[in-house]
Amino acid sequence: MTDSKPKAVIFDLGKVLLDFDYGIAIRRLAPKVQIPTDHIHTLVNQSGLLHDYESGAIDTDQFFARVQAASGYRGTLDEFAAAFADIFVAIEPMIALHAQLRRLGIPTYILSNTNELAIRHVICHYPFFSQFDGYVLSYEHRVMKPAPEIYAIAEALAGHRGPDLLYLDDWPENVEAARCRGWRAVLHRSPEQSRAAVAAAGLLDADAAL
């Protein structure tokens, strides 16, 4: 591995900067659907429908229409969006880490498997999200991690490749795909471990890693 410092840091979004729980959405949707709660969870999170949405194969209107058809959901798209997307909690130590990198002048990016409703909600409720140099969102590019194409898009956006990129993600498959491209990819397990990894890469001083 090179001894030089990374030129940019790329963050995954879910479970790295924002925790989330689709169980919250399921409980909010339950009073307005005609199927059991466990069936809602399967429909929204395990049936392939969410994958189609986050991969850009279907848009928001199509996603909502399919949920309605399969569940008998009685409500408007706006009501559904409010229930479906309000599932996040800020991981404050990681947001603080990002802010510290920004103060040091280090470019930062988001690389996330996500969907339009989630991003609309995040933009409205989490100001830190606007403080990145760029965003690679799966539904916009119609490709999801760990496919190599989405990493190539991130490289082009950042203007760097290989060890010039430090990447934080909570999914081992996504981390391995980044490592195959030569990125300094870190499996995020806790804010403390990720902060230590950023410091070990030379982007923070020793005190900042504590």
114, with CB counted inside 10 A (0-12, 13-18, 19+), is buried
Q: Domain spanning 8-19+88-209 has what CATH number?
A: 3.40.50.1000
Q: Report the sign of the C-alpha dihedral through residues 137, 77, 86, 173, in that order.
A: negative
Peptide bond into 146 cis (omega under 30): yes
Condensed to tens digits (0 to 9), the pLDDT of residues 13-26 reads 999 999 999 999 99
Q: Which 3 state secondary structure label does DSSP give 113?
A: coil
- pTM beyond cutoff 0.75: yes
pLDDT of the residue at 47: 83
Q: Is 50 exceeded by the pLDDT of residue 126? A: yes
pLDDT of the residue at 45: 81
Percent of residues, the chain, with pLDDT higher than 70 = 96
pLDDT of the residue at 37: 87
CA neighbours closer than 13 Å in the CB half-sphere of residue 83: 22
pLDDT greater at residue 86 or residue 2: 86
Enumerate the domain spans of the chain.
8-19+88-209, 22-85
Task: Give the CATH fold of the 22-85 domain.
Answer: DNA polymerase; domain 1 (1.10.150)
22-85: same fold as 8-19+88-209? no
Q: How confident is the model at residue 29 (pLDDT cuts 50, 70, 90)?
A: very high
Condensed to tens digits (0 to 9), the pLDDT of residues 157-179 reads 999 999 999 999 999 999 999 99
